[in-house]
Structure 1
Amino acid sequence: MKKLFTNYLATFKGLSKEVWWLSLITLINRAGTMVIPFLSLYLKEGLNFTFSDVGLIMVFFGLGSVAGSRLGGYLTDKIGYYKVMQVSLFLTGVLFVLLQYVTTLFGFCASIFVLMTVADTFRPAMFVALSSYSKPENKTRSVTLIRLAINLGFSAGPAVGGLIISTLGYQGLFWVDGVTCVLATILLVNVLHPKKARILDEIKNENPASVYSDKLFWIFFVAMALFGVVFLQYFSTIPLYYRDVHHLSEIEIGLLLGANGFIIFLLEMPLVTWLEDFKQNKITLMIIGGVLVTLSFIVLNMTGWIGILIVGMFFMTIGEMIMFPFSNAYAMERAKRGSQGQYMSWYSISFSLAHVFGHFSGMHLIDKIGFDNTWYIMFGLSLLSGLFLLMLRYKTKQVEKI
């Protein structure tokens, strides 16, 4: 047991202190974003919106994410990642608190668009900061550490969120979200000021290549957008499936979603380190991760046994642990060709577009054809994502031979 623990700790060695600070800031921020997993339930039960209304709001959620990711990439290249992260975190906190007072469909669509535009300027800036604070050989593990912080916060967030809903109601979540964003801003200002931070891998190209001419990146982009549509069902339709089909309470839903984050916290870094030791192609690993997420939906249609929810969550969790670190590292590698903010903003936009289409299509599908048929459609989209990744691997090998 002692050797196992020692080996586990060894997987974290060599990461810079700035990456650790950035991870802590992310942890505080993500622990507070407990509204997001419960948003579809809040809109349906708290505000009595229909499935179609919820889907429409999620479209504006995604559109705001697209706008924020694009704006964040532009501002990061123009004024630097530090200022973008600082302003984004603080304003997001204020907007989360104000969101609880919005009750109309039009008002919520507009408000969620503004909130996500401000919130998602943080993502491209954070990715560029992470790249700058990491040695080249540590980038995948640095991404993994950030994801550990996200998922530790996410594992605590839904569990605590379920308790808050049952005691204080949904409004309590908005206050917690807002306060934690402000706390993350205070920590950022005190520990990651540019004068204090070490830049370990700052890439400056005098003649940066445009992301728009990078054909391999756009194949990758389409694959990630399709994968994102499937994956994001766990934040919209899956919680409704847990409640409506298997009759789980908010606390039980929170615990099941929280288990995903807790497993990732325990196992992702050792898994990524182990996979890196095999020196497998990142694209191949992404394909494996996508297959596992695909299986997480198929098993739900195999039986009505409630334990299948745990099996499905297990497949999704392992697939996620493989897909996201290596896709993120792949994007950062491609970003060295040009303006990093531009590349990382489009990587973020691939998932923002998934928010636009994934939530709305998922809600519409379960309303019209039911949960089981929706999962079959998600299976098909996941296969299509895998085909694009296979194309990316083939095209990459062709380029390498030239």
Structure 2
Amino acid sequence: MKTLFNSYINTFKGLSREVWLLALITLINRAGTMVIPFLSLYLTEKLEFSLEDVGWIMSAFGLGSVAGSWLGGKLTDAIGYYKVMVYSLIGTGIFFIFLQFFDTFVGFCFGIFSVMLVADAFRPALFVALSAYSKPENRTRSVTLIRLAINLGFSAGPAIGGLIITTMSYSGLFWVDGITCLVASLVLIDTLNPRKAKTLEEVKTANPESAYKDKAFLIFLVAMVLFGIIFLQYFSTMPLYYKESHKLSELEIGILLGGNGFLIFLLEMPLIKWLETSRFSKTGLMLFGALLTGLSFIILNFTTWSGVLVFGMLLMTFGEMIAFPFSNAFALDRAKKGNQGEYMALYSISFSVAHIFGHNTGMRLVSHLGFNNTWYIVTLLSVMCMLLLATLKHYLKPKRSLKKKELSF
């Protein structure tokens, strides 16, 4: 047991102090975003908006995320990742506090759009900072550590948020969310000031290429949009399937979904450490992750036995653990040839676009075609995602071969 524990701890070794600080800042920030899980309840119960109104507000949420990611990438290339992260955290804190004072439909649409515009500018800057503070051989594990911080933050956030609602009302959520963002900004200013932090890699490229002209990257982005749409079904249509088709209680659904976060916390870092040293390429691993995620849906149509839900969740969890870190690492590596902020903004936008279309599309498919047909369609999307990743792998092969030939002369 001691040897196993030591092996687990060793998977975290080699990461820079700055990466650990970024993970701490991310944990504080994500644990503080407790308004988000309770947003639909707040809008329907407190503000008494209709479900149609809530749908439009969530669209404003997604559009703000897209605009924020794009703006964050532009600003990162213009003024640097550090200033963007600081301004984003401070601005998000202030905007979250003021969001509680918007109580009309149009006002709240504007408010939530503004919050996400400022909040998601943080994401491209964070990715570029990771690139600056990570050694190339540790980059995928650095991304994985940030993912662990996000998962821990999102796990703690709803629990703390529920407690705040019962003791302080919904307004307390906005105050705590705002204050935690401001605290995260203070930690960032105190610990990651460029004068104090040790940058391991230069984040500027002498003659940057536009990400919009990088065909391989554009193929990759379309594949990520598809993967995001597939993955998000586990947080929109899948809970409904658990309840309506398999009659699971809220507690059982919570345990099943909670198992996903627990497995990620327990296994993702050792898995990534092992895969990093394997002979598999990043594109091949992303393809395998998409395959596992697609299988997690199609197996649900093979039996009515509720135990299949556990196997589905396991397949999806391992698919997620493989696809996300290596897709992120692929984007960071690709960004070395251009403006890193632009590259990482487009990567972030791919998942924002998936949020805009994924939830709504899944709900409509279930409503009109039923769960079984929806799972067939989602599986087909995973096949399309895999074909794009296979195309990407094939597209990159000749260039690798050419590089080897050039080195041999």
- Fold agreement, TM-score > 0.5: yes
Q: Name 1:111's counterpart in structure 2.
A: 111
Change beyond 3 A, Cα 1:259–1:177: farther
Q: Deviations over 1:163-209 (max 9, x none)?
A: 55566665544343223212211211111111100010114322111
**Are 1:283 and 2:283 an aligned pair?**
yes
**Are 1:376 and 2:376 an aligned pair?**
yes
Letter in 2 for 1:109: C
- After TM superposition, the structure 1 stretch with the greater mean CA deviation from structure 2, 201-210 or 81-90, is 201-210
Q: Name 1:351's counterpart in structure 2.
A: 351
Q: Distance in 2 between matches of 1:61 and 1:205?
A: 33
Change beyond 3 A, Cα 1:108–1:252: farther
Q: Name 2:25's counterpart in structure 1.
A: 25
Change beyond 3 A, Cα 1:58–1:312: farther
Structure 2 spans left out of the alignment, 5+ residues: 403-409
Q: Distance in 1 between matches of 2:351 and 2:342?
A: 15
Q: Name 1:157's counterpart in structure 2.
A: 157
In 2, are the aligned partners of 1:157 and 1:258 still within 8 Å (CA)? no
Q: Distance in 2 between matches of 1:347 and 1:186?
A: 27
Letter in 2 for 1:63: L
Q: Percent identity?
A: 63
Q: Distance in 1 between matches of 2:336 and 2:301?
A: 43
Letter in 1 for 2:282: K
Change beyond 3 A, Cα 1:47–1:118: same
Q: Distance in 1 between matches of 2:67 and 2:90?
A: 18
Q: Name 2:128's counterpart in structure 1.
A: 128
- After TM superposition, the structure 1 stretch with the greater mean CA deviation from structure 2, 283-292 or 199-208, is 199-208
In 2, are the aligned partners of 1:81 and 1:126 still within 8 Å (CA)? yes
Change beyond 3 A, Cα 1:49–1:260: farther
In 2, are the aligned partners of 1:58 and 1:359 still within 8 Å (CA)? no
Q: Name 2:226's counterpart in structure 1.
A: 226
Q: CA deviation at 1:51?
A: 5.0
**Are 1:390 and 2:390 an aligned pair?**
yes
In 1, are the aligned partners of 2:225 and 2:350 still within 8 Å (CA)? yes
Q: Distance in 2 between matches of 1:269 and 1:179?
A: 30
- After TM superposition, the structure 1 stretch with the greater mean CA deviation from structure 2, 298-307 or 30-39, is 298-307
Secondary structure of the 1:202 match is coil
- After TM superposition, the structure 1 stretch with the greater mean CA deviation from structure 2, 282-291 or 295-304, is 295-304
Q: Distance in 2 between matches of 1:300 and 1:49?
A: 35
Q: CA deviation at 1:361?
A: 1.9
In 1, are the aligned partners of 2:86 and 2:188 still within 8 Å (CA)? yes
Change beyond 3 A, Cα 1:244–1:29: farther
Secondary structure of the 2:337 match is coil
Q: CA deviation at 1:302?
A: 4.7
Q: CA deviation at 1:154?
A: 2.0
Q: Distance in 2 between matches of 1:172 and 1:257?
A: 27
Secondary structure of the 2:266 match is helix
Letter in 2 for 1:96: F
In 1, are the aligned partners of 2:128 and 2:203 still within 8 Å (CA)? no
Equivalences for 1:248-267 in 2 at 5 Å?
Answer: 248-249=249-250, 255-267=255-267
Change beyond 3 A, Cα 1:192–1:8: same
Q: Distance in 1 between matches of 2:384 and 2:44?
A: 31
Q: CA deviation at 1:268?
A: 0.6
Letter in 1 for 2:26: T
Q: CA deviation at 1:304?
A: 5.4
Q: Distance in 1 between matches of 2:334 and 2:11?
A: 25
- After TM superposition, the structure 1 stretch with the greater mean CA deviation from structure 2, 55-64 or 25-34, is 55-64
Secondary structure of the 2:197 match is coil
Change beyond 3 A, Cα 1:364–1:113: farther
Q: Distance in 2 between matches of 1:304 and 1:12?
A: 41
**What is the number of residues matched between the two proteins?**
401
- After TM superposition, the structure 1 stretch with the greater mean CA deviation from structure 2, 141-150 or 251-260, is 251-260
Secondary structure of the 1:336 match is helix
Q: Deviations over 1:143-172 (max 9, x none)?
A: 111111111222222344455556666554
Secondary structure of the 2:383 match is helix
Q: CA deviation at 1:243?
A: 5.5
Q: Distance in 1 between matches of 2:370 and 2:165?
A: 27
Q: Name 1:214's counterpart in structure 2.
A: 214
Secondary structure of the 1:378 match is helix
Q: Name 1:62's counterpart in structure 2.
A: 62
- After TM superposition, the structure 1 stretch with the greater mean CA deviation from structure 2, 306-315 or 337-346, is 306-315
Q: Deviations over 1:307-355 (max 9, x none)?
A: 5444333222211110111000000110000111111111111111112
Q: Name 1:75's counterpart in structure 2.
A: 75
Equivalences for 1:137-152 in 2 at 5 Å?
Answer: 137-152=137-152
Change beyond 3 A, Cα 1:40–1:52: same
TM-score by length of 1: 0.91
**Are 1:333 and 2:333 an aligned pair?**
yes
Structure 1 spans left out of the alignment, 5+ residues: none
Change beyond 3 A, Cα 1:281–1:233: same
Q: Name 2:3's counterpart in structure 1.
A: 3
Q: Distance in 2 between matches of 1:103 and 1:81?
A: 34
In 2, are the aligned partners of 1:63 and 1:113 still within 8 Å (CA)? yes
Equivalences for 1:157-176 in 2 at 5 Å?
Answer: 157-162=157-162, 164=164, 170-176=170-176
TM-align CA RMSD: 2.5
Q: CA deviation at 1:293?
A: 1.7
Letter in 2 for 1:269: M
Q: Deviations over 1:61-89 (max 9, x none)?
A: 22111100110001011111111111111
Letter in 2 for 1:390: A
Q: Distance in 2 between matches of 1:85 and 1:183?
A: 13
Q: Deviations over 1:231-266 (max 9, x none)?
A: 2233434445556664643x6655544432222111
Q: CA deviation at 1:59?
A: 2.2
Equivalences for 1:239-254 in 2 at 5 Å?
Answer: 239-242=239-242, 246=247, 248-249=249-250
Change beyond 3 A, Cα 1:314–1:105: farther
